[in-house]
Amino acid sequence: MSCARPPDFRVAAPGPGWEALPLPALVLDGQGRVAAVNDAAEIWLNMSRNSLLGRMLDEDEMATRLRIQPSLRPLVERVRNAEDALYQPEVSFQIGDRAGGHQARRAGVHAAPTPGGPGACCLLIVPAEDNARQSRNIRSAARSAIGMAEMLAHEIKNPLAGIRGAAQLMAMNATPEDREMAEMIVSESRRIVALLDQVERFGDTSAPRLGALNLHDVLEQVRRSAAVGFARDVAIVTDYDPSLPMALADPDQLMQVCLNLVKNAAEALAGKAGGMIRLRSFYDHTLRLPPDADDPTGRPLPLQIEIEDNGPGFPPAIADQVFEPFVSGRENGTGLGLALVSKIITDHGALVRVDSRPGRTVFRLSLPKA
């Protein structure tokens, strides 16, 4: 396919690590033309660099070699307008072959602003097998936690009740020094029981009680509870889209998820001057679950909740594992809160993702319409 490049077109120079990227990556200039292509993208798209440079991905001349559904143009426009990174989880790439046909491939696409002129945007393509692996890891983590709940709750809570009762009896006739030790045993026993209660929630395999609900009713109840309790020293701001339709979710479970995420944010901001939590809702029609046998097009998840804080972010060592049980960034954290969030949202047939860096951590929940 010949490619006559426009006279104002300039090839981008992303940097020395560009070709070493293990995933397909493209840079688009401010007019949406491909300005850089790495080796992995040439291989995955089955197109040479010369065939791509200077062209728009959705122009008519590209249709015989590459068809992308849905179009990436709305995603790129949102990145340019918001000047922030966004992710579209399910994109179909119809890639031309030598016989004149097309091979179907699926991928998620990360889009982010990049140096290279006004409006320049980088696209990172994550093939579907990598997305599926991440989903399997989250589901596997949830199943592991369920198994631990069934084993630990029964085996530990019963003897703990006896230990706590014995310590309380000892304290009644003990010296002041011994009474202090007995009270410590009671206190620590209660703390362990509270931890096991949290673990036990994983053992509940009943389906969520789904119904139509107003996301803002849930978020406002969470905001009010946090403002008079664990987040009383933190500024909580809201950015709601009042036009959102009703969501399909279990109100109690969604409340538990949002309270957990807001509490985590408040704990991350403890002692920080100018700490702020933002609750945001908006509509994104591009987000879907990966296709499966029940829904070949992928279930739409257009209703978005974001819970953002300006804390320190997750330590790099655990950034990719925060939804796994018993992984925590806090010294005394149990590592169960986010694993429970992942289980509940997975049971809803919805998505939860996190983007964390110093100064900005955002959890996004993507839910279906009622």
The reported pLDDT for the residue numbered 243 is: 93
366, two tokens: 């993507």
- In the chain, count of helices (H) and strands (E)? 8, 13
* Residue 187 burial (C-beta neighbours within 10 Å; 0-12, 13-18, 19+): exposed
Residue 190's pLDDT is 76
Q: How far apart are CA 273 and CA 292, in angstroms?
A: 47
d(CA 64, CA 77): 25
Q: What is the Cα–Cα distance from 282 to 85, expressed in whole angstroms?
A: 16
For the chain of 370 residues, list the mean pLDDT of each consecutive stretch of 10: 69 79 88 90 87 88 86 88 80 80 84 82 80 53 58 69 82 82 81 69 71 94 89 92 94 90 91 91 84 70 94 78 66 66 88 89 93
Nearest in space to 92 (alpha carbons), one of 131, 55, 128, 49 = 128
Residue 2 is predicted with a pLDDT of 47
Strand pairing category for 66-69 and 34-37: unpaired
Q: Cβ distance 350 to 367 under 8 Å?
A: yes
pLDDT value at residue 229: 85
Distance CA 183, CA 164 (A): 9
Q: Give the angle subtended at the CA of 132 by the CAs of 128 and 138, to the nearest 5°.
A: 150
Half-sphere exposure of 124 (CA within 13 A, CB side): 17
Residues 311/270, Cβ–Cβ less than 8 Å: no
pLDDT in the model for residue 366? 93
Whole-prediction pTM: 0.53
- The string of DSSP letters for 295-362 reads -TT--B--EEEEEEE-S----GGGTT-TTSTT--SSTT--S-HHHHHHHHHHHTT-EEEEEEETTEEE
Calpha distance 191→213 (Å, rounded): 34
Strand partners for 282 = 304
Cβ neighbours of residue 356 closer than 8 Å, sequence gap 6 or more: 313, 314, 319, 322, 362
- What pLDDT sits at residue 249? 94
Three-class SS of 81-129 = HHCCCEEEEEEEEEEECCCCCEEEEEEEEEEEECCCCCCCEEEEEEEHH
CA distance 266 to 270: 6
pLDDT at 332: 55
221 neighbors 255 (Cβ within 8 angstroms): yes
Element (H, E) at 238: strand 235-239
Burial grade of 257 (CB within 10 A; 0-12, 13-18, 19 or more): buried
* Residues with Cβ within 8 Å of residue 354, at least 6 apart in sequence: 314, 322, 323, 361, 362, 363, 364
Distance of CA 345 to the CA centre of its chain: 11
**Nearest alpha-carbon partner for 107 in 135, 129, 122:** 129
